[in-house]
Amino acid sequence: MRRKAGLVLLALAVFFAALSPLLRWYAFPRLAKIPANQYQDMVLEAKDATLLDYGTMKARKVPEVTIVQTLKGNVEESEKIEKTAGRDVVVWDGLSYVVGPDGKMVSKIPERYIFDAHTQEPVHATGEMVDGDPVKRQGIEFKWPFLTEKRDYEYFDAQARVTAPIHYKGTQNFRGVDVYYFEQTIPWTKVRFPKTMPVEGITPESVAKTGTTRWYTTVRKFWVEPLTGAPVYGEEIHKEELRGGTLLGGREKVTAFAGHVKMREDYIDSTVALVKSNRTLVLLMTSYLPWGFLALALVLLSLSLYLEARGRRPGDPRPTKDAEPEPVNA
Q: Contact residues for other proteins (CB under 8 A)?
A: 3, 7-8, 10-19, 22-23, 26-27, 30-31, 33, 35-37, 39, 41, 43, 66, 68, 70, 72-76, 78-79, 88, 93-95, 97, 99, 103, 105, 108, 110, 266-267, 269-271
Q: What whole-number distance in Å separates Cα of residue 256 and Cα of residue 50?
A: 7
Residue 249 CB, shortest distance to other proteins, in Å, is 32
Burial (CB count within 10 angstroms: exposed 0-12, middle 13-18, buried 19+), residue 292: middle
Q: What's the length of the chain?
A: 330
Q: Give whichever of 22 and 58 is closer to other proteins, judged by the CB atom.
A: 22
Residue 19 CB, shortest distance to other proteins, in Å, is 5
Residue 309 CB, shortest distance to other proteins, in Å, is 13
Sheet holding 177-191: strands in order across? 133-134, 129-130, 105-116, 89-99, 58-73, 39-53, 253-263, 230-243, 213-225, 177-191, 162-174, 153-157
Percentage helix, strand, coil, to 5, in the chain?
30, 40, 30
Q: Give whichever of 3 and 209 is closer to other proteins, judged by the CB atom.
A: 3
Q: Give whichever of 66 and 184 is closer to other proteins, judged by the CB atom.
A: 66
Is residue 189 within 8 A of residue 162, CB to CB? The reply is yes
Q: Give whichever of 149 and 299 is closer to other proteins, judged by the CB atom.
A: 299
Is residue 42 within 8 A of residue 72, CB to CB? The reply is no
Residue 122 CB, shortest distance to other proteins, in Å, is 19
Residue 2 CB, shortest distance to other proteins, in Å, is 13
Q: What whole-number distance in Å separates Cα of residue 54 and Cα of residue 18?
A: 66
Q: Give whichever of 178 and 269 is closer to other proteins, judged by the CB atom.
A: 269
